[in-house]
Structure 1
Amino acid sequence: MSMNSSALVSQVNLQIPIDLIISKGNLGLTRGDISIMDANGNLVFKVSTRFSSSNSTRVLLDALKNPLISIYSNQGGWQGFRGESREWKDLIFRVERTLHSRLRTELEAFLVGENLGELRSDFRLKGSPFQRSCTIYKGNSIAAQANPMYRLGKVLVARHKFRLTIYPGFDHAVIVALLVIFFDGGN
């Protein structure tokens, strides 16, 4: 599934992993917002949080602030839609929590198939939001990993910053949206 609005997504076919730096709660960001930078410090994505009386909506934006994916929580799960839509024709994925304990969380993501109503399990997310660690699997392969930033066994930066490595062949916008749900789901 291609999100043509982002220059980074066009690089999905590169044969090397890419590292992105996720920053939560930096100065200049409103509560709930997240910035995603490349290794050179260039903004790649931003997550904007919009609060309402009933819940919050997270919108993944590209570097030019174009909405790519809107994430809505609903009854213990989440749904991701193209742009700022909430129409079924724009549904990209649905996510369900399969395990939630103090130390471990697991989610399962279902991408919408070619037939609009067909959902198939595509990704499993496993890890610890508190420790800022998550592995995203597609089948038996690792699609992406998020970890605190370490150097020689020592943490380099505070908990509000961590690294996301995305392996070749995966849509970066979808992976980032899934990671946002894992770490910031709000359920």
Structure 2
Amino acid sequence: MELGTSESSYPGSGNWEIPIDLFGSKKHAGVPRGVLAFADESDNVVFRVNRHPPNPNSSPLPKDKKVLVDASGHTLFSIYSYHNGSWKCYKGDSDGNRELVFRVQRTLKTFTRVELEVLFESGRSNDEVCDWKVKGSPFQRSCCIYKDADLVAQSSLMYKLHQIFVSRGKFRLTIFPGTIDHALIVAMFVIFLSGRK
């Protein structure tokens, strides 16, 4: 089962029969401490999120840039955050000619809840109809990702029986069967985690 991206057009390819769990943490073996990484059920790191200073020549100036890389270190997506509560996700890591994959706009921000709308660029006409929605609490690492009315993925903290204090340092991202690239879901989730800022 391949967890990386494919060469087909977005949003994604592949058809999985069962839900896939990825485990997010900043304390995975083999990954520098403080770097967010996602591992499979065998504890193999499949995605990593690196933070980079944005290009000062880009306009409008983004306030943050994150790069999603696969297990081999190949850059899959560059995620730019802007001051108006929006994000842009580009294929690869080029600061020159970039292929925009999707845009995200924050539509709700409260102390406990964030909602985002995701608009994919491929096959888009001039209408601004929202393709996907992400809803939840970044502080609790808890969200649901929807395509139309279908639940595509959800995340939660790693609870244990009789546990009084639940650490926010490790969480589960469950991707349900369907036809979406796992890397796209991880990219949306990374944006969600920074959605309250």
TM over 0.5: yes
Deviations 1:111-160 (A, max 9, x none): 11225877642211111011110000111110000000123363796211
* Deviation (angstroms), 1:42: 0.4
Higher strand fraction: Structure 1 or Structure 2?
A: 1
User: CA separation of 1:101/1:140 partners in 2, compared to 1, >3 Å: closer, same or farther?
Assistant: same
Aligned to 2:171: 162
1:56-75 to 2 correspondences below 5 Å: 56-74=64-82, 75=84
Deviates more, 1:87-96 or 1:116-125: 116-125
Q: State how far apart, in whole Å, the 1-side matches of 2:172 and 2:139 are.
A: 14
Deviations 1:7-56 (A, max 9, x none): xxx9831110000000136685354x211000100011000011358632
For 1:23-34, list aligned pairs within 5 A.
23-24=25-26, 28-29=31-32, 31=34, 33-34=35-36
Q: Alpha carbons of 1:38 and 1:26: their partners in 2 closer, same or farther (altered >3 Å)?
A: closer
Corresponding residue number in structure 2 for 1:51: 53
SS of residue in 2 equivalent to 1:150: coil
> Residues 164-186 of structure 1, C-alpha deviation per residue, up to 9 Å, x if partnerless?
00011221111000000001347
Instruction: Please say if residues 90 and 99 of structure 2, whose CA atoms lie closer than 8 Å, have aligned partners that are also in contact.
Output: yes
Q: Match of 2:94?
A: 85
Structure 2, unaligned runs of 5 or more: 57-61
CA contact (8 A) 2:91 2:98 kept: no
Q: What is the CA distance between 1:105 and its match in structure 2?
A: 0.6
Counterparts of 1:90 and 1:78, CA distance in 2:
14
Q: Counterpart of 1:142 in structure 2: which amino acid?
A: L
Higher fraction of helix = 1
Q: Please identify, of 77-86 and 35-44, the stretch whose mean Cα deviation from structure 2 is larger.
A: 77-86
Find the counterpart in structure 2 of residue 41 from structure 1: 43
Indicate if the aligned counterparts of 1:12 and 1:172 stay in contact, CA closer than 8 A: no
Q: Aligned AA for 1:140? A: A
Pairing of 1:1-187 with structure 2 (within 5 A) = 3-4=5-6, 12-24=14-26, 28-29=31-32, 31=34, 33-51=35-53, 55-74=63-82, 75-86=84-95, 90-114=99-123, 120-152=129-161, 154=163, 158-169=167-178, 170-185=180-195, 187=197
Deviations 1:64-120 (A, max 9, x none): 000000000123200000001346760000000000000111001001122587764
Partner amino acid, structure 1, of 2:145: I
CA distance in 2, matches of 1:51, 1:26: 23
Tell me the distance in 2 between the aligned counterparts of 1:155 and 1:58: 33
Does the residue aligned with 2:190 lie in a helix, a strand or coil?
helix
Retained in 2: the 8 A contact 1:149–1:156? no
How many equivalent pairs are there? 181
Counterpart of 2:85, as a letter, is G
Identity of aligned residues (%): 41
Query: Structure 1 residue runs of 4+, over 2 Å off?
Result: 2-5, 24-31, 51-56, 85-89, 113-120, 151-158, 184-187
Assess if the C-alpha contact under 8 Å between 1:112 and 1:120 holds in 2. no
| TM-score, length basis structure 2 | 0.80
